[in-house]
């Protein structure tokens, strides 16, 4: 082999070595940049765990003749605000009842706030510790005072009567009704009663609030006040809020809208992708 060939071979080796070193440097930079991106992304967008996980949920009534839920699969993140929308008889309220352990599924699995509701027998404990309920008709007890109504969920805990009263008054103050604490619910307007129901729903510091048509019996002006209150509660407490409604204008306040029809999830849509013209008649 001549000197020219040796020189050429050495040059090729040097080029290969330089390429390898350059590739190593590039790979190191890519890894470094990627790790930096991941760390920044994690700081700004904390990945939240699922607080609700449902697989293959089914429920029938009338000895199987009415299929209320037909193979529901659903995940909901901790701190998420989700609306479940659909016409009357679509299965949305049945689904909410399952989430609150007010009804039992025929088959499938449902895990809520760490409780496997398809297996766990301590459902009273689950409801009292993890869930706050807001119903369309508020379900306040008429013959006791407003503040006593708010105190009801606290009796499952270990608070003294003094601490219960202090917390109940604080919750009523948060919904603008501290001055109505000692009167009976029958003396309140429909909107005021629903605000008491919101305060009561927060009394056990729940992981999840379940709201079933919370504005269904209210006029539009009062409905807006209640929805503003729910939004405020969701943001300040970072509580997971799951709301059933048949009104898309109400549903669109949520982070995500889940459309239910004939016991099945039709689609799940992030708020930013919603069509302003969508309406669902109930």
The pLDDT value given to residue 275: 64
| Residue 140, H or E segment | none
Q: What is the pLDDT of residues 104-145, one digit of tens each?
A: 899 999 999 999 998 877 888 888 889 999 887 778 999 999
Q: Domain limits of the chain?
A: 78-103+123-273
Beta bridge partners of 209: 132, 241
Residues 223-228, mean pLDDT to the nearest whole number: 86
| Residue 211, H or E segment | strand 208-212
Say which CATH superfamily domain 78-103+123-273 falls into. Answer: P-loop containing nucleotide triphosphate hydrolases (3.40.50.300)
Whole-number percent of the chain with pLDDT over 70:
80
The pTM (predicted TM-score) of the whole model is: 0.77
Rounded Cα distance between 252 and 245, Å, is 10
- DSSP symbols for 48-69: PPEEEEEEEEEEEETTTTEEEE
Q: Which of 126, 128, 108, 127 is nearest to 118 (CA)?
A: 108
The pLDDT value given to residue 14: 57
Rounded Cα distance between 281 and 269, Å, is 18
The mean pLDDT value of the chain amounts to: 82
Q: Is the dihedral of CA 96, 99, 105, 107 positive or negative?
A: positive
Whether 25 shows a pLDDT value over 60: the answer reads no
Residue bearing tokens 């082999």: 1
Q: What is the pLDDT of residues 161-185, one digit of tens each?
A: 999 999 999 999 988 999 999 999 9
């Amino acid at each position: 082999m001549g000197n020219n060939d040796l020189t050429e071979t050495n040059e090729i080796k040097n080029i290969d070595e330089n390429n390898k070193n350059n590739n190593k440097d590039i790979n190191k930079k890519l890894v470094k940049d990627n790790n930096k991106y991941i760390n920044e992304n994690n700081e700004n967008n904390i990945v939240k765990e699922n607080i609700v996980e449902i697989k293959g949920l089914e429920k029938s009534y009338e000895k199987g003749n009415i299929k209320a839920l037909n193979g529901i699969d659903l995940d909901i993140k901790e701190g998420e605000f989700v609306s479940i929308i659909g016409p009357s008889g679509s299965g949305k309220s049945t689904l909410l009842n399952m989430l609150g352990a007010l009804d039992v599924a025929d088959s499938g699995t449902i895990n809520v706030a760490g409780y496997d509701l398809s297996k766990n027998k301590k459902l009273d404990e689950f409801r009292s510790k993890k869930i706050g309920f807001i119903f369309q008709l508020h379900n306040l007890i008429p013959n006791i005072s407003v503040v006593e109504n708010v105190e009801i969920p606290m009796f499952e805990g270990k608070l003294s009567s003094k601490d219960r009263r202090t917390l109940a008054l604080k919750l009523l103050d948060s919904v603008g009704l501290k001055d109505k604490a000692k009167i009976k619910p029958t003396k309140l307007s429909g909107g005021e009663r629903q605000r008491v129901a919101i305060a009561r729903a927060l009394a056990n510091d729940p992981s999840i609030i379940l709201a079933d048509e919370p504005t269904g019996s209210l006029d539009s002006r009062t409905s807006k006040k209640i929805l503003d209150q729910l939004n405020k509660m969701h943001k300040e407490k970072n509580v997971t809020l799951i709301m059933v409604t048949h009104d898309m204008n109400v549903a669109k306040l949520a982070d995500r809208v889940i459309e239910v029809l004939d016991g099945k999830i039709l689609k799940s849509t992030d708020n930013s992708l919603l069509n302003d013209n969508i309406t669902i008649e109930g």
